[in-house]
């Protein structure tokens, strides 16, 4: 029997006064954390929620998230975290698709009125029976006729043993970003989540006295495992950051003596460019995932902060860690390390045959980290899960020492004049330019070559290099079939809530421009 909430309950007894959560001026101990999660679990049970029922949660990185998440787990229900940027139509889809019976939603902030969209969606979904709104003003008991979390928890007992679950029971349904069609809900089991959290602890050599900075959105698999489940299991302290800002982050590292920082590449770029002068010597490790970390960004960060970055690879469907660098082994810049213990990774051709060493192919994964499957998507499961292997849709290669390198996404591949062009290779080169802060490369329809290469570039503050100059520089650095014939300088690039550059939006732009040309 297994339940993610078991560790929380254990820590509430063994270290009741240890600070578990810090957010602004709020500090919550493990005893308080467990008591509030118990009230939420008891409230869910009182509303008829049974083990295995789905409960949706929309919340940024605020204490509400872990309190509700673990309350749902204690009740034996399934947590369905939703992206905080979803609109009414999208929330409605997720509530219906997951068959959620209950919905917790944060009220939102200026410019992001989450509850407004959440309430409108909830009212259209008959199968979702109850909704609770989490408000910054915790004295409120009513929000547009719906109960607030304060009202929901009122009179509920702070004592509740977690409901035992089978290892293969679904604990969380994580929706993929939907880069190809509708989002799909990956069903992750208690065993998936628990084992991957243990893997994260071992790989990062986590200690009970570590202080984690939670900059990654907790609704995303990376943040959920590395920044929440792993530290909660060990009884660490978590410093929550609702919205990433490099100057704020550096200040929090100094104030709370943060030891572990996990982020996506755009966060490391922001840290490198930030001029705030803070003492961040307490940091002992950085972790990067979610997207490929440009080698130049890694080198700059490690030189500037004297902190090693361990880059890993995984997806929502792999809980997420599948491959990772190790502290006790030489790190190869650009590599995402080796497959984690108990997990196999192969690189195969389009017929599923293993590729020779050094040759690129699709990455497939097998092991304890693989999801049960996509919820209500039998056809998608047939395509993605074959003979126990999960087909990732990513292109990678192994070197002679077994280090995995991510070449690109299959869907990001550009075919120019019959030659395969991998955008990541071009992006790596452009990131070495002294004036470039960020870059994304996509294919543009072209009558002559099928596709042409275009680079969208964000410059560093104060840089004045022109598009023509960047194009000429790229021509010097790259083979004739690779260099971008088109370069466009922008103030910013579109990103999702996790900080990943949205190439699908850029591709949509260039396709629309091509159609109207």
Q: Output the domain CATH number for residue 68.
A: 3.40.50.980
| Residue 454 domain flag | yes
Q: How far is Cα 44 from Cα 42, in angstroms, rounded to an integer?
A: 5
pLDDT level of residue 179 (50, 70, 90 thresholds): very low
Q: State phi, psi for 303 to the nearest 5 degrees.
A: -70, -40
Mean pLDDT of the chain: 94
| Residue 150 domain flag | yes
| Residue 154 domain flag | yes
Whether residue 86 has pLDDT greater than 80? yes
DSSP 8-state symbol, 412:
G
Q: How far is Cα 59 from Cα 416, in angstroms, rounded to an integer?
A: 43
Contact 222, 289 (CB under 8 A): yes
Which pTM was predicted? 0.87
DSSP 8-state symbol, 354:
B
Q: How far is Cα 91 from Cα 491, in angstroms, rounded to an integer?
A: 30
Burial group, residue 512, by CB count within 10 angstroms (0-12, 13-18, 19+) = exposed
For the chain, percent of residues with pLDDT exceeding 90: 82
Taking CB atoms within 8 Å and a gap of at least 24, the contacts of 402-410 are 402/338, 403/332, 403/335, 403/337, 403/338, 404/313, 404/323, 404/335, 404/336, 404/337, 404/338, 404/339, 404/345, 404/363, 405/334, 405/335, 405/336, 406/292, 406/313, 406/336, 406/363, 407/360, 410/362
Q: State phi, psi for 98 to the nearest 5 degrees.
A: -85, -10
Neighbours of 62 (CB within 10 A): 20
Whether residue 369 has pLDDT greater than 70? yes
pLDDT level of residue 216 (50, 70, 90 thresholds): very high
Torsion of CA 408, 411, 412, 414, to 10 degrees: 110
Q: How far is Cα 51 from Cα 57, in angstroms, rounded to an integer?
A: 17
Contact 451, 416 (CB under 8 A): yes
| Residue 281 domain flag | no
| Residue 51 domain flag | yes
Distance of CA 392 to the CA centre of its chain: 16
What is the number of structural domains in the chain? 2
Query: Which structural domain, as residue segments, surrounds residue 138?
Result: 28-165
Q: Which of 165, 181, 212 is the last residue of a domain?
A: 165
- CATH at 429: 3.30.300.30
Q: Which of 150, 165, 180 is the last residue of a domain?
A: 165
pLDDT level of residue 517 (50, 70, 90 thresholds): low
| Residue 219 domain flag | no
Give Dmax over CA atoms of the chain in angstroms: 71
Average pLDDT over residues 383-401: 95
Whether residue 19 has pLDDT greater than 80? yes
Whether residue 411 has pLDDT greater than 90? no
| Residue 422 domain flag | yes
Q: Which of 165, 192, 218 is the last residue of a domain?
A: 165
What residues contact 104, with CB distance under 8 A and at least 6 apart?
Answer: 55, 56, 57, 58, 59, 64, 68, 131, 132, 134, 149
DSSP 8-state symbol, 223:
I
pLDDT of residue 181: 59
| Residue 467 domain flag | yes
Whether residue 413 has pLDDT greater than 90? no
């Amino acid at each position: 029997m297994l339940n993610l909430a078991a560790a929380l309950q254990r820590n509430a007894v063994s270290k009741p006064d240890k600070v578990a959560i810090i957010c602004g001026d709020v500090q919550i101990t493990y005893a308080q954390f467990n008591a509030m999660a118990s009230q939420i679990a008891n409230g869910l049970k009182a509303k008829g929620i049974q083990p295995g029922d789905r409960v949706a949660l929309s919340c940024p990185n605020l204490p509400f998230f872990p309190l509700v998440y673990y309350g749902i787990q204690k009740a034996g229900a399934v947590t369905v975290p939703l992206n905080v940027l979803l609109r009414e139509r999208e929330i409605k889809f997720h509530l219906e698709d997951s068959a959620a019976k209950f919905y917790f939603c944060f009220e939102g902030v200026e410019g992001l009125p989450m509850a407004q969209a959440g309430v409108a969606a909830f009212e259209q979904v008959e199968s979702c029976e109850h909704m609770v709104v989490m408000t910054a003003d915790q004295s409120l008991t009513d929000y547009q006729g719906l109960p607030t979390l304060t009202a929901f928890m009122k009179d509920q007992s702070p004592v509740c043993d977690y409901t035992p679950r089978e290892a293969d029971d679904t604990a969380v349904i994580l929706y993929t970003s939907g880069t190809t069609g509708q989002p799909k809900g990956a069903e992750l089991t208690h065993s998936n989540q628990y084992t991957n959290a243990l893997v994260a602890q071992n790989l990062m050599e986590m200690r009970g006295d570590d202080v984690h900075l939670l900059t990654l959105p907790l609704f995303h698999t990376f943040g959920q495992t590395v920044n929440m489940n792993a530290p909660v299991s060990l009884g660490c302290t978590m410093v929550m950051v609702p919205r990433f800002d490099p100057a704020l982050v550096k200040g929090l590292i100094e104030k709370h003596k943060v030891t572990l920082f996990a982020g996506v590449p755009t966060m490391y770029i922001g840290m490198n460019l930030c001029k705030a002068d803070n003492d961040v010597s307490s940091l002992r490790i950085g972790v990067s995932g979610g997207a490929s970390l440009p080698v130049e960004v890694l080198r700059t960060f490690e030189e500037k902060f004297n902190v090693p970055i361990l880059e890993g690879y995984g997806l929502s469907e792999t809980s997420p860690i599948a491959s990772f660098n190790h502290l006790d082994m030489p790190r190869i810049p650009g590599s995402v390390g080796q497959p984690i213990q108990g997990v196999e990774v192969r690189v195969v051709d389009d017929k599923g045959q293993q590729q020779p060493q050094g040759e690129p192919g699709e990455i497939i994964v097998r092991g304890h980290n693989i999801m049960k499957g996509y919820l209500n998507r039998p056809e998608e499961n047939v395509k993605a899960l074959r003979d126990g292997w999960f087909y990732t849709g990513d292109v990678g290669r192994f070197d002679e020492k077994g280090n995995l390198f991510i070449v690109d996404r299959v869907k990001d591949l550009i075919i120019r004049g019959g030659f395969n062009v991998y955008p990541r290779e071009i992006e790596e080169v452009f990131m070495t330019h002294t004036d470039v802060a960020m870059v994304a490369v996509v294919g543009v329809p072209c009558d002559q070559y099928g596709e042409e290469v275009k680079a969208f570039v964000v410059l560093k503050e104060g840089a004045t290099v022109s598009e023509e100059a960047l194009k000429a520089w790229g021509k010097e650095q790259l083979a004739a079939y690779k260099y971008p014939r088109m370069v466009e300088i922008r103030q910013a690039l579109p990103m999702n809530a996790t900080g990943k550059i949205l190439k699908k939006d850029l591709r949509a732009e260039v396709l629309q421009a091509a159609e109207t040309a």
